[in-house]
Amino acid sequence: MIHIVFNESEVALMQQVITLDETLAGDVVQIKDDYAVGPIQAIYEAEGYQLRRDWWKQLLENSPYAEQTDIVDDKLTVHNLKKRLDENPEEHIWLWMGQNQHDVCGYYWLMPQFKEYQGRIMVLYMNNLPFINEKGQIFYPSWLHEIQPSEFLKAKKLCRPITLSEFEVDPDEWKKLTEDNAIVRSLEGGKKIANQPETFYDAEILKNITAEWQKSWRVLSNTLNRMKIKTGDVFIMWRLKTLIAEGKVEANGDVNKGWKDFDVKLAGTAKTEAAASAEIAG
């Protein structure tokens, strides 16, 4: 049994779950890219794959993850998974998905590549399902990491094979998305993904910027914590820098260095120190 998750935190989570239920024993593998953002046109072809890698490299420049484009290789992960399935006819893959665009887009990217293994690829989608949180209250999680490890023992009952019909229909849905090639994708419900413009998260960022100078990393942290539809920190920082380049946000410091090397505030909301000094001198 091979468990596939789409978020780094869920690797340790699934390992915890396995310690609670030996029948789930198996390796935990992560699909690392975030297919809910970025270019995806011709993504299974060398040119499209390279365009996507170049896009990520641009976003990761001067970030804490600058070297990580070289360690994210989902194509190699798929190759190794297929090899294991070929070498062991009894092997099965379990795909664990939360109700969010990140996991669903990861599913869409992954599953067409396993059509020949239909019957051995299982899916567990936590779609509109109630769980019990640490306080004993019922809630509907969007992400797997929101679920207590003990609750996964109930969730495993949801396991079912991806049907032949899904292997026919879902790749067509993904193909439409790749042809449209929007930069942002959001989940509308079920497995329905909608294309969005690259400015989709800008309003969320601007909500957390004031007329007073703030550290850029503070704005980043507040945005990530408060936004309802989540995305990654790299994408948000890219959009913040884009808003600065467009003149909607002012920056103090070197934007082209690290994330902690500049402050930001809303453009035109207060006088800059230089303007204030010039007024006094006048």
Res. 49: pLDDT tops 70: yes
**Local structure of residue 197 (DSSP, 8 states):** -
Mean pLDDT of the chain: 92
User: Pairing relation of β-strands 192-196 and 249-253?
Assistant: unpaired
Res. 199: pLDDT tops 90: yes
Res. 196: pLDDT tops 70: yes
The structure's pTM equals 0.90
CA atoms within 13 A on the CB side of 230: 15
Cα–Cα dist 254/62, whole Å: 11
Question: Is 202-281 a CATH 1.20.140 domain?
Answer: no
Cα–Cα dist 244/172, whole Å: 38
Amino acid (1-letter code) at residue 154: K
pLDDT at res. 279? 43
Cα–Cα dist 35/52, whole Å: 10
Q: Where are the domains of the chain?
A: 2-178, 202-281
The residues, any chain, with a CB within 8 Å of residue 97's CB and separated by 6 or more, are: 6, 103, 104, 106, 107, 123, 124, 125, 126, 127, 144
**Taking residues 83-112, what's their average pLDDT?**
97
- State which H helix or E strand residue 21 sits in: none
Res. 41: pLDDT tops 70: yes
**Taking residues 37-56, what's their average pLDDT?**
96
Residue 276 banded pLDDT, cuts 50, 70, 90? very low
Q: What percent of the chain has a predicted confidence (pLDDT) above 70?
A: 94
User: Which residue in this structure is represented by tokens 């920190």?
Assistant: 233
pLDDT at res. 69? 67
Residue 35 banded pLDDT, cuts 50, 70, 90? very high
pLDDT at res. 48? 95
pLDDT at res. 182? 96
**Taking residues 98-127, what's their average pLDDT?**
96
Residue 44 banded pLDDT, cuts 50, 70, 90? very high
pLDDT at res. 257? 87
pLDDT tens digit sequence for 5-14: 999 999 999 9
Res. 24: pLDDT tops 50: yes
Cα–Cα dist 190/187, whole Å: 8
Cα–Cα dist 115/166, whole Å: 10
Angle at 201 between CA 199 and CA 203, to 5 degrees: 90
Q: Identify which has the larger pLDDT, 96 or 268.
A: 96
pLDDT at res. 68? 72
Residue 155 banded pLDDT, cuts 50, 70, 90? confident
Cα–Cα dist 179/76, whole Å: 24
Cα–Cα dist 35/77, whole Å: 15
Backbone angles phi, psi at 193, to 5 degrees: -105, 135
pLDDT tens digit sequence for 233-259: 999 999 999 999 999 999 999 998 889
